[in-house]
Amino acid sequence: MNPATQTAPRPACYEDILSLPEHLVGEILHGALHTHPRPAPKHALAYSALGFLIGGPFHGGLGGPGGWWILDEPELHLGADVLVPDLAGWRRERMPALPDTAWFELAPDWVCEILSPATAGTDRAIKMPLYAREGVPYLWLVDPKARTLEVYRLQEDRHWLLLETLQGDGVVSQPPFEAAPFALNALWAD
């Protein structure tokens, strides 16, 4: 083929995500389709446990202030990008009701990515800047293998500030969920 007649690959579209096998999660990041398998057990345990520990007090108001929607794997349509964080939360004052669509067009107030070998590079190098671009105020990165939690707050200049890296069996009392502390080791498999 003559290089002068070659065309650039077409940007990914939502139909590309819909045509994926059920065992894959698809995202469109900067026009490219990114896929990864459903989470492995330790990854799934970390986000299920975190959803429970935060969801009770903040989503359900059980032993905490309530006032949040906390959801597992919500599909975010943010401009031309389609992202699927492991967990996300919206303050109900900003989003009083859930949308009728299968996705969200309003950026969350908090996102959490559970890092895995298949997703860590994408989560850090591509998705973190997209969350910053959209003005997500808080981001947590959980690494089940390293047993760490990194807590970030978005600065006014749309850059992330690392507030703290927690490891081991310490107590997590970090923004925006400092009102209901929990043990970090509740996220791990032993």
Q: What is the pLDDT of residues 34-49, one digit of tens each?
A: 988 888 888 889 989 9
**DSSP 8-state class, residue 52:** H
CATH superfamily of 39-187: tt1808, chain A (3.90.1570.10)
- Break the chain into its structural domains and give their ranges: 39-187
Return left, alpha or beta for 179; rule: phi > 0 is left, psi -120 to 50 is alpha, else beta: alpha
| CB neighbours of residue 162 within 10 Å | 11
- Summarize pLDDT for 144-189 with one digit per residue, the tens: 999 999 999 999 999 999 999 999 888 999 999 999 999 999 999 8
The answer on pLDDT for 9 being more than 50 is yes
